[in-house]
Amino acid sequence: MKLDTKAIRYLTAEDWRVLSAVEMGSKNHELVPTSLVTQIAGLRSGSGVHKSISNLAKVGLIAKMKNAKYDGYRLTYGGLDYLALNTHRKSSSIYSVGNQIGVGKESDIYVVASSSGDQRVLKIHRLGRISFRTVKANRDYLRNRNSGSWMYMSRLAAMKEYAFMKVLRDNGFPVPEPIAQSRHTVVMSLVDAFPLRQISSIPDPAGLYAELLALIVQLASFGLIHGDFNEFNILVEEIATPATKSTLSSPSGAPAQTDNTLVQPSTDSTDSSPPPAVTLVPTIIDFPQMISIDHTDAIFYFDRDVNCIKRFFSRRFHFTSDEPGPFFSDAIKHVRKRLDVEVEASGFSRKMAKELDAYMKEVGVDGDAVEGAGEEENSEGEGDSEENSGDEAKETSLSDFNTHFENKSMPSTITRQGLPLVDQTFTSYT
């Protein structure tokens, strides 16, 4: 579903209390009785609750269920989105929301900005988008809450991603900076890079190949396996560094190249300074399927991560290494640190991990390696027809706060497939 923030600034304090009441009631009820909403909201006037319910239902934040046995409402994904955005607004993590830059089976990705204009990324986990299609039994939150609640499971996925991203960042791994997490959303730094799947050529495939396999081994030496390490979840960034004279030797006059670094020749004959060297630096993203090396399927996922990289480099860059491996048994011989234990100590418990793992297997979420996620899918979640009903509203600006990406030029050392990101427009909802 599309994130629509046009109504968020018009919600009153009473509307927020009623929306929060529906969320709290959803922990034990698939359909929260109106009387319970009134009780949890704690508003003095009963008419005020009904007015807020009407306001929230009009903008699709809560919805009724057809053929319900009693009067009540359920929280929609739009309502959960608003509650998360409101938390991020209060903590100053997000000031404005821009365009959607990614969509998959399990999440939606948006560019957002802070009050100072710093561009960030908002990832919204939507595990219910899968469960509503494939698992009919898990709509009963009372009978099977832990494996059935899309709110609970999406929240677990966000908690897991934030926890792993934080420990990885703290230990020097190339991952985005985690900024905040609320409910089913994660706010992280925006990496100015291209997805590996969109790159058609690089100057030194062997160098990047070796670096990516080394990352898989390094993760294992810290007690972790990514579980979905492939071209969809790897970003490649160009970093320009000053070149030394020793790197400029090239008998043919072509750019000198060392490992995965390309030295660009100077076009200005009067410029005596060495041209910059451009290094391709990978960044890992997407961690909801990360597992411990103690996991029963650890060998399978480690080998799958390795084979995904080998298969992609062979298909896209026509590069095949003669060296076998790496192998799981070798990677865990010298475990330096157990980051999986640190994550568990941070609050994302082993029980939560097992619940999320079982749920994702039950609904068929097995990463991008098999089915090539990242392609657009139409959301067919429960109640979409109710949430999206009504005439299409005309696009209006909520404020004068607008900022744009500069047109992103094609990288100098890599050839990218598709079009660059341009004209990302942000709209303030505060």
Which tokens belong to 352? Answer: 């939560």
pLDDT one-digit tens code per residue, 44-72: 776 789 999 999 999 999 999 877 888 89
In degrees and rounded to multiples of 5, residue 59 shows phi and psi of -100, 10
Query: Residue 340 and residue 354: Cα distance in Å, rounded?
Result: 13
Angle at 331 between CA 325 and CA 336, to 5 degrees: 155
- 367 pLDDT tier (thresholds 50, 70, 90): low
Taking 50 as the threshold, does the pLDDT of residue 15 lie above it? yes
Considering the candidates 15, 204, 228, 340, report the single residue annotated as catalytic.
228
Taking 50 as the threshold, does the pLDDT of residue 372 lie above it? no
| pLDDT for position 364 | 67
Query: Does residue 271 have an active-site annotation?
Result: no
Query: Residue 163 and residue 153: Cα distance in Å, rounded?
Result: 15
Average pLDDT over every residue of 167-176:
97
Calculate Rg over the CA atoms of the chain: 24
How high is the mean pLDDT of the chain? 79
160's CB contacts (< 8 A; 6+ apart) are: 287, 288, 290, 343, 348, 352, 353, 356
In 3D space, the residue among 177, 63, 69 whose CA is nearest the CA of residue 120 turns out to be 177
Taking 70 as the threshold, does the pLDDT of residue 132 lie above it? no
pLDDT one-digit tens code per residue, 239-258: 887 755 443 333 344 444 54
Q: What dihedral do alpha carbons 110, 25, 344, 125 form, nearest 10°?
A: -20
What angle do helix axes 13-25 and 77-90 make, rounded to 10 degrees? 120
What angle do helix axes 205-221 and 298-316 make, rounded to 10 degrees? 170
Return the higher-pLDDT residue of 407 and 216.
216
Average pLDDT over every residue of 413-419:
52
Terminal Cα-to-Cα distance of the chain (whole angstroms): 22
Query: Residue 394 and residue 342: Cα distance in Å, rounded?
Result: 48
pLDDT one-digit tens code per residue, 69-105: 888 999 999 999 999 999 999 999 999 999 999 887 7
Contact assessment for residue 371 and residue 310, using Cβ atoms and an 8 Å cutoff? no
Exposed e or buried b for every residue in 48-73, given b needs 16+ CB within 10 A?
bbebbbebbbebbbbbeeeeeeeebb
92: left (phi over 0), alpha (psi -120 to 50) or beta: left
189's CB contacts (< 8 A; 6+ apart) are: 120, 121, 176, 177, 179
pLDDT one-digit tens code per residue, 307-321: 999 999 999 999 999
